[in-house]
Amino acid sequence: MSEFEKLKVVTKYELLKQFRRKRFYGALAITVLTIFLIIGLYQGLDLPKQIGIPAQFLNQWGPELFAMFVTSMGALAILAAVFFAGDAIASEFESKTGYILFPNPVKRTTIVVGKYLACFIATATIIITAYLISVGALLVFYGQVPVGIIGSLALMLMLACAIISLAFAFSSILKGGMGATIATLLTFMVVFTIISSSLSYAGYDPWFMPDRAGDAVASTYGLPLEQLIGGFGFGGPMMGGMMRASQDPTLSFFVLLAYAVVLFGISILVTKRREMI
């Protein structure tokens, strides 16, 4: 059996394991409910008018604004990816199942790649479901779907890849799956945010930070965000830095890709050298 065929087998069984977990259906249910809740709040409360967005802006950018509001749910990618990937590698060492898995004639690299693909497919299933619901809502309320939603989906999936890689890196280093999960959440949502905010306050553009690159999921629709935010009186170096970071979806995509590749490479190297103790 070739290594590619082994990879398919590993991915298949890891994916089946993900789909059999209650956490997958829990994450899917939470995502669906959240999207419907956001759509209901947006339309039911007429949210744009409530926060003072001009009618002229809504007439010109209504579908794009709705799509940006509903699909800019980076937290969905973060939570889903972390829940699926946090214990992917650490569990083999924590529960000692690695004694059974690793001696098999399958390279550890193949095992890690198979686990990664399974986690990504599970996460992508949830994200794509959220976007399909958003597309349905756009067709119902506006009769059209902004082209930018494709770019937003691509960036959201790449954000998921970067977070899965981060979770895999922690999962390959730490002893327990819970520790890896918590470390991933704290790093992305606290440490990266503090660094990005500090750089923004200092007047620097944190375009290279993954959390700022993830903000670009809201900038693929062509909305004049500076004009919109400027109308509410916000400003300062921090807001300027955030706007610059989210203005270039292409750059943000490659920033996230770089984090995904480097962190995943680290997880493979550490897993290959790690001993069962």
Q: What percent of the chain has pLDDT over 70?
A: 82
pLDDT tens digit sequence for 89-143:
766 655 655 545 556 667 888 888 999 999 999 999 999 999 999 999 999 999 9
Q: Spell out the domain ranges in the chain.
A: 3-273
Q: What pLDDT, on a 0 to 100 scale, did the predictor assign at position 177?
A: 75
pTM of the model: 0.87
- Whole-angstrom distance, CA of residue 160 vs CA of residue 76: 9
Q: What angle do CA 62, 63, 66 make, to 5 degrees?
A: 85
pLDDT tens digit sequence for 141-187:
999 999 999 999 999 999 999 999 999 999 888 877 788 888 888 99
Q: Provide the pLDDT confidence category of residue 256 given band limits of 50, 70 and 90.
A: very high
